[in-house]
Every structure is written in C-alpha cells, then in structure tokens.
Amino acid sequence: MRLLFFFVLSLLLLFIDSRFKYLESTRTAISILVYPFQRLTTVPGIVWQEVGTYFETQNHLIEDNTQLREQHSADAAQLNILQVVQAENTQLHNLMDVAQRVNYPMQMAEIAYVERDIFKRKLFVSKGAKANVQPGQVVMDDIGIVGQVTRVYPWLSEVTLITDKDHAVPVQILRNGIRAVVFGSGDINELALRYMPISSDIQTGDELVTSGIDGTYPAGLPVAKVIKIERDPAYPFARIACIPIAGVDRHKYLLIVSGAPELPPRPEIKAMQADEKPKITLKRKVQ
C-alpha cells in the first residue's frame, strides 16, 4: 500500500508538473542547492586535466626554447660571418677606388700574420719577390699610410708600421705646408711630431700628409692628425701627439704602392765639399 501510494503520488506530481508547471520553481531551487556539490565532484577531473596540460605545455615550451636557442646561435654565427664578409667587401671596394684614383701603380696584398713580439709593430703580407715587391715600398689602406716594406721574401713581405718606435715619415701640415717628421712611439694609437719649435704654426686637428721630398713616400698621402700640443717655455721644442689616420691595426687587405717618384741621385759628400772650397787667388801688387 505504501509503495502504491507513492507510485500514484509520483504520477500525480508528474502530471501536475507537466500540465501546470507548479514544480518549476522548486526544481530551480533544488538545482541551485545541488550545483555546488556538482561542481565539487568535477574538481578532481578538472585538476587532473589542468596538471596534465601544464606539464605538457611545459615540455613543449622547453623543446621550443631549445630549438629557438639553437636557431638563434646558428643565425648569430651566420650574421657575424655576413658582417665580416660585408666589411671585407666594403674595404676591397674602397681599395679598388683608391687604386683607380691614384696615379701610382699598386697591387693588393692580404695580411698573412702579425709579428708576435708585442714591442714590434710589424706584419707580413702575402706578396713577395715573386710579385715584384721591393724593400722601401709604401703600404697603405683606403684611408692613408700604414707602413713600409722593410724585408722581402719569395712569397711574403715584412711591413713595418708607422707606429713602430724606429720608424719615421717625412710629412707636412696640410693647412700651411710646414714640413716635419713624424715618429712612431711603439703605441698602435699614437705618433709623435718631434723637433718642432714651440712657436711653430701648428694646431690641434691639423692633418699631416706625406711631403714626398724623401723619394720613398708619394706626396699627399694622409698620415696622422694632431690631437695634443704641449708648449713649455722651458723646452725649445713642443710636445705634439698625433694619431694615425689609417687603420694600422684593422682590415685584412692592404695596398702596396709599386711606384714612387724618381728623384735625382744625391750628390756625393766629397764632391760637394770639394766644390764648396773657396778658391784663393794671389794677386801680385805692381809697384
């Protein structure tokens, strides 16, 4: 009887709910009360899924970062190589322009290696006697004088840089034409303009070019720029510091100037002294 009663009651409630919608509000209230429990039952599954997604995403990110780092390293290496090649191409283009503008015959040479002794400012280029290189020829880059060939081998040539402490270059000030001699100091970034009186017309920023009066360096090639002048009345000469204009410690290719102005030979000292002796003539006095 109890089962029959509840069965009839259920059928009645279903009929009333479908017919008159009396239990809609009750169902809504019950769903609101049950919703937190429903969400709570789904939490373990959601947490498990999120944890799995997190670790999967982490693995993908680690793999992507590893690949990106490897790709970045490869791209950086390629970029460095490209920059080096572009710099070499630019310098070669500049050297070709210089060789076309200058009237002296030139040939291009590559730096083979640099002197290991830190106190010697020398390097070796890949042209020697087989390429008709001779001692005394000038070596320059696309900006100015780098040095001078001091020793020649069959396939190599030794070049002494203008910054070597035993090297000197006859120059003149481009602004006013004053002649002088610039000496190397042993420092790759410094030259010294010596034996200039403190009253000399020289200023900071003056550009020094080869004078061409020694028969070795062609005239008008840039050599150095004045950066510091010290005039002390206690000394007869001013202390003048310069920096080389050319890249004496840069670049890979240089130009060897094969020709130089031909000057008449120096007169012999004995002949000059003989010519300069005064001639004494004795005149007899007629009484």
Per-residue pLDDT of 163-186, as tens digits, reads 998 889 999 999 898 999 999 988
Q: Is the model's pTM score more than 0.95?
A: no
The reply to whether 230 and 117 lie within a common domain is yes
For residue 286, name the pLDDT band (cuts at 50, 70, 90).
Answer: very low
Section 12-17 average pLDDT: 78
Residue 272 lies in a domain: no
Rounded distance between C-alpha atoms, residue 79 and residue 26, angstroms? 73
The reply to whether 170 and 215 lie within a common domain is yes
Task: Give the residue with greater pLDDT, 131 vs 95.
Answer: 131
Residue 179 lies in a domain: yes
Query: Which of these, 126, 132, 170, 167, lies nearest to 150 by C-alpha position?
Result: 167
For residue 265, name the pLDDT band (cuts at 50, 70, 90).
Answer: low
Instruction: From residue 189, give the alpha-carbon distance in Å to each of 32, 192, 226, 238, 246.
Output: 85, 11, 12, 20, 10
**Residue range 203-260, pLDDT digits in tens:** 999 999 998 887 778 888 889 999 999 998 888 899 999 999 988 888 888 888 876 5
Query: Which of these, 192, 196, 133, lies nearest to 166 by C-alpha position?
Result: 192
The reply to whether 78 and 114 lie within a common domain is no
The reply to whether 137 and 223 lie within a common domain is yes
Question: Where does a domain end: 55, 84, 101?
Answer: 101
Distance of CA 99 to the CA centre of its chain: 23
Residue 284 has pLDDT above 60, yes or no: no
Hey, what are 89's tokens? 């191409």
Residue 19 is part of which domain span?
9-101
Are the C-beta atoms of residues 125 and 256 closer than 8 Å to each other?
Answer: yes
HSE of 149 in the Cβ direction (CA atoms, 13 Å)?
27
Residue 278 has pLDDT above 60, yes or no: no
Which residues partner with 208 through β-bridges?
173, 224
The reply to whether 243 and 116 lie within a common domain is yes
Q: What is the pLDDT of residue 207?
A: 94
Q: Mean pLDDT for the chain?
A: 81
Question: Where does a domain end: 66, 101, 136?
Answer: 101
Q: What is the pLDDT of residue 270?
A: 56
Number of independent structural domains in the chain: 2
Instruction: From residue 136, give the alpha-carbon distance in Å to each of 57, 116, 139, 163, 193.
Output: 70, 22, 9, 16, 22
The reply to whether 92 and 212 lie within a common domain is no
Residue 264 lies in a domain: no
Q: What is the pLDDT of residue 276?
A: 54
Residue 116 lies in a domain: yes
Residue 235 lies in a domain: yes
Neighbours of 47 (CB within 10 A): 10
The reply to whether 93 and 114 lie within a common domain is no
The reply to whether 121 and 73 lie within a common domain is no
Residue 154 lies in a domain: yes
Query: Which of these, 208, 218, 186, 191, lies nearest to 122 by C-alpha position?
Result: 186
For residue 75, name the pLDDT band (cuts at 50, 70, 90).
Answer: confident
Q: What is the pLDDT of residue 206?
A: 93
Are the C-beta atoms of residues 146 and 139 closer than 8 Å to each other?
Answer: yes
**Residue range 182-198, pLDDT digits in tens:** 999 888 889 999 889 98
The reply to whether 74 and 141 lie within a common domain is no
Q: At which residue do the structure tokens 């030794």 appear?
A: 158
Hey, what are 37's tokens? 């429990």
Section 150-157 average pLDDT: 92
Residue 277 lies in a domain: no
Residue 218 is part of a domain; what is its CATH number? 2.40.10.340
